[in-house]
Chain A
Amino acid sequence: MIEIKDNEAWITLSGRLDTATAPKVEETLRAALVEAPAVRRIVIDATNLSYISSSGLRVILGLRKLCATTEMHHVQKDVRAVLDLTGIGKLLVIS
Chain B
Amino acid sequence: MKTIKLTNTLQSISEAVERVDEQLRAYKVKQEDRLRSTLTLEETLVKIADSMAETEVPIFIGIRRTIHRVQLRVTVAGPEINFATDTLLSDSETLLEEYGPETENLIRDLILRTNSERIRTRYAKGVNRVDILVSQNEKAMLYETTAALVLGVSAGLIARLLCSPSVAAGLNEYLFSPLYSLFLTAIAMIMVPMVFFSLVTSISGFGDLSALGRTGGKVFCMYLITTLIGILVAIATNALLMPGRPGMMTLPESVAGGESSMHLSLMDKLLAIVPDNFVGAFAGADMIQVMFLAVLIGVACTQIGQFSLPLKTAFESLSALFTHATSLISKFLPYAIFGAMAQMTLTMDVNGIGALASWMGVSLLCIVLQFLVYVLLLMFVGRLRPMPFIRKFVPAPLTAFFTSSSSATMPTTMACLEKMGVSRKVYSFSVPLGANINMDGTSLFFMVTTLFMAGLYGISVDVSTMLELIMSVMLISVALPGVPGAGTAALLMLFAIVGVPAEAFGIVIGLIPLIELFETALNVTGDGVVSAIVAKSEGEMDLEAYYK
Contacts and interface: CB of A to CB of B under 8 A. Distances in A.
A55 interface: yes
A33 interface: no
A57 B99 contact: no
A62 B104 CA distance: 10
A21 interface: yes
A20 B10 contact: yes
Nearest to A55: B104
Contact of A58 (B13, B45, B104): B104
Interface in A60-95: 61-62, 64-65, 77-78, 81-82, 85-88, 90-91
A70 B36 CA distance: 25
Given A54-B43, A54-B104, A82-B39, A16 B99 contact: no
A77 B31 contact: yes
A81 B152 CA distance: 45
Interface in B70-106: 92-93, 96-97, 99, 103-104
A16 B11 CA distance: 12
Nearest to B109: A54
Interface residues of A, number: 26
B107 A58 contact: yes
Contacts of A7: none
A65 B99 contact: yes
Given A78-B31, A91-B96, A85 B104 contact: no
B110 A86 contact: yes
A42 to B, nearest CB: 14
Given A81-B32, A86-B111, A19 B13 contact: yes
Nearest to B17: A18
B56 interface: no
Contacts of B144: none
B142 to A, nearest CB: 29
Interface in B26-43: 31-32, 35-36, 38-39, 42-43
Contacts of B104: 54-55, 57-58
A33 to B, nearest CB: 14
Given A55-B104, A87-B92, A20 B97 contact: no
B538 interface: no
A65 B99 CA distance: 7
A90 B95 CA distance: 13
B313 interface: no
B3 interface: no
A77 B99 CA distance: 25
Contacts of B36: 85
A61 B97 CA distance: 8
Nearest to A90: B93
Contact of A64 (B11, B38, B99, B110): B99
A47 B311 CA distance: 48
B173 interface: no
A57 B105 CA distance: 11
A14 interface: no
Contacts of A88: 96, 107
B14 A19 contact: yes
A53 interface: yes
A86 B92 contact: yes
Interface string B106-125: 01101100100000000000
Interface string B40-74: 00110110000000000000000000000000000
Contacts of B92: 86-87
A71 B92 CA distance: 20
B519 to A, nearest CB: 32
A16 B99 CA distance: 22
B18 interface: yes
Given A19-B14, A20-B10, 14 more contacts: A16-B14, A18-B42, A19-B13, A51-B38, A53-B111, A54-B108, A58-B103, A61-B96, A78-B31, A85-B110, A85-B111, A86-B111, A87-B96, A91-B97
9 contacts: A16-B14, A16-B18, A20-B11, A20-B13, A51-B38, A53-B42, A81-B35, A87-B93, A91-B96
Interface of A: 16, 18-21, 23, 51, 53-55, 57-58, 61-62, 64-65, 77-78, 81-82, 85-88, 90-91
